[in-house]
Structure 1
Amino acid sequence: MTTPDTEPSGTAGAAGTAAAPGAVAPAPAGAAAPRGALAETLYFAVRNGKLLAGLAVFTLLLLTALIGPLLLAGDPNAYVGLAAQPPSGEHWFGTTHFGQDVFAQFVHGLRATFHVGALGGGIAAVIGMVVGFTAGYRGGIVDEILNALTNVVLVLPALAVLLVINAYLGVRSLTVQAVFIGLTSWPWAARAIRAQTLSLRARDFTDLARLSGVSTWKIITREIAPNMSSYLFMTFILLFGGAILIGASLDFIGLGPTQGISLGLMLNNAAQWNALHLGMWWWFVPPGAGITAIVGSLYVMNVGLDEVFNPKLRET
């Protein structure tokens, strides 16, 4: 599995131009038109079923990841019951081939999965924004150098590089895994942000700021980035989901953390001990469903946000 190579379309026009902020779609008949950009965005956000559904699933899983380990203190890999027991009142998700509680592993695995997604996606987003903004605004030789760097990283087989690095690490941790994922996942985001910046740097408000003597950094952070805020947020969502998928892939093939537990490691253990052939569906279904639910909710949220931020796609 690889990181998504598509980019959010909510603010991209035919030439990669950001949607004009403040554009107002007609309000439904009999409803008062919302005033202000924020009020307008909220007005359509609370009426978008995709966004609300994705946000509800994501929030539920996130709360489980944050609160669950506090309620289920202890080692999730501890042997707490009889082996290979199906779900019951005592063990909600049953037990593994070794008598470990699957629900405890699932809850702790959710936290690990969110950790990899947030850190890996965050690192990729920061690098992508720095490279994309700098290349798009400065242009010239700076743009050429950063474009060359982006293309080099883009054509590298990221998963293969991660496989080699993880294979030669004596002790692997979730944080190290997330950092490597972030360092190899940013090129497509940098190229997308660069395209948006190239468009915005030619706008009148950017020219006015430049003529006023405002520094490059302030122009990027105060003039260009705010006009791309929705686009940047949706880019981070895609990077978040991509980091989770890559992390789960590494875990599943046995190159996950050497200590602890994750949803990908649960799938790896279930596959190693023939859970499918033994009919122990409760061992591999929860982690697989958890990964699918997290990534699926992120992409559904992204589609909903696209419809909210893009006036042409809004459901009135």
Structure 2
Amino acid sequence: MTTIPDSLADNRVVRREALHFAVRNGKLVIGFAIVLVLLLIGALGPVLLGVDAPNEYVAGPMLPPSAEHWFGTTTFGQDVFTQFVHGTRTTFVVGALGGGIAAVIAMVVGFTAGYRGGLVDEVLNMFTNIVLVIPTLAVLLIVNAYLGIRSVAVQALFIGLTSWPWAARAIRAQTFSLRTRDFVDLARLSGMNTRRVIVREIAPNMSSYLFMTFILLFGGSILIASSLDFIGLGPTEGVSLGLMLQNATQWSALQLGLWWWFIPPGAAITAIVGALYVANVGLDEVFNPKLRQR
């Protein structure tokens, strides 16, 4: 009969226990449900609508919501719902790319500094502090305004390159506390190099913490991108939720009473970021035994 190693059996027990509390945590379920609904709208909406040009003129101007145009039309006769689903997709793409890039940089810097220590830690910590005090939004404004880089991918790249320091410092602190554990010492004695020790021993023991960090970086990237879009420094092509708000403000939607133009994108941004925060609080309760609600 094949026996299951104790460590593998323990991991399975931990996963089952985490799943047990996850499905019973209201914050986590509600938060992820809201994000999932909006994600499906952004992913499937453009395909179901069959429209590749959300800015094209399809009807009369300033039409209120109706069965034909669910979110009404803009002052130029553009369908707001079509822009909304395309904008939701773009917003998620920027958040995922920006948050993903920031998470990768934070893990590389944080793990290396925390595990190696010494001079390596001092150099990386100094570099992290330098990036941390740089006014991120001001740098992004200069890059977007004066270099003329106005694409979704490059916007996400710059957001990722400037929003990782706080996460790197948090990962570094966690790595410091794990590098002296017995299982890490055993891995080093067995001949594992630094990369393998971090990937196989330290990172798996921080998986829940890393996931929650990515969620915060994801939401932060969405907020930064929406801010840039709102002040007119978003992508020059396509549409996003922030660009919808910017266009609505520029063309006096509030003064004209076109509430259907600015409320949906504003509510969607608030819902995404708020739901991610609520889900993150729920994850903390799931993974932290002291916070669990039985």
| TM-score exceeds 0.5 | yes
Give the alignment partner of residue 70 of structure 1, picking from 39, 47, 50: 47
| 1:87-110 superposed Cα distances (whole Å, 9 cap, x missing partner) | 011100000010000000000000
Greater relative CO, 1 or 2 (CA 8 Å, sep 6+): 1
Q: Which amino acid aligns with 2:212?
A: M
**Which residue of 2 is the match for residue 229 of structure 1?**
207
- C-alpha distance in 1 between matches for 2:192 and 2:60: 68
**Which residue of 2 is the match for residue 187 of structure 1?**
165
The structural deviation recorded for 1:211 is 1.4
- C-alpha distance in 1 between matches for 2:254 and 2:262: 8
**Which residue of 1 is the match for residue 108 of structure 2?**
130
Give the stretch that moved more between structures: 208-217 or 264-273. 208-217
Structure 1 unpaired stretches of 5+: 1-20, 25-34
- Which 4+ residue blocks in structure 1 deviate beyond 2 angstroms? none
Give the stretch that moved more between structures: 202-211 or 157-166. 202-211
| 1:301-312 → structure 2 map (5 Å cutoff) | 301-312=279-290
**Which residue of 2 is the match for residue 150 of structure 1?**
128
| 1:2-45 superposed Cα distances (whole Å, 9 cap, x missing partner) | xxxxxxxxxxxxxxxxxxx99x9xxxxxxxxxx70111000100
- C-alpha distance in 1 between matches for 2:230 and 2:52: 24
Q: Residues 306 and 277 (structure 1 numbering): CA distance in 2 closer, same or farther, change over 3 Å?
A: same
| 1:39-78 → structure 2 map (5 Å cutoff) | 39-72=16-49, 73-78=51-56
The structural deviation recorded for 1:168 is 1.7
The structural deviation recorded for 1:172 is 1.0
| 1:10-25 → structure 2 map (5 Å cutoff) | none
The structural deviation recorded for 1:74 is 2.7
The structural deviation recorded for 1:171 is 4.7
**Which residue of 2 is the match for residue 37 of structure 1?**
14
Structure 2 unpaired stretches of 5+: 1-6
The structure that is helix-richer by fraction is 2
1:258 is paired with a residue whose SS is: coil
Calculate percent identity across the aligned residue pairs.
74
Q: Which amino acid aligns with 1:57?
A: I
8 Å Cα contact 2:57-2:78 kept in structure 1? yes
Count of residue correspondences: 286
Q: What is the TM-score when the length of structure 2 is the normalising length?
A: 0.95
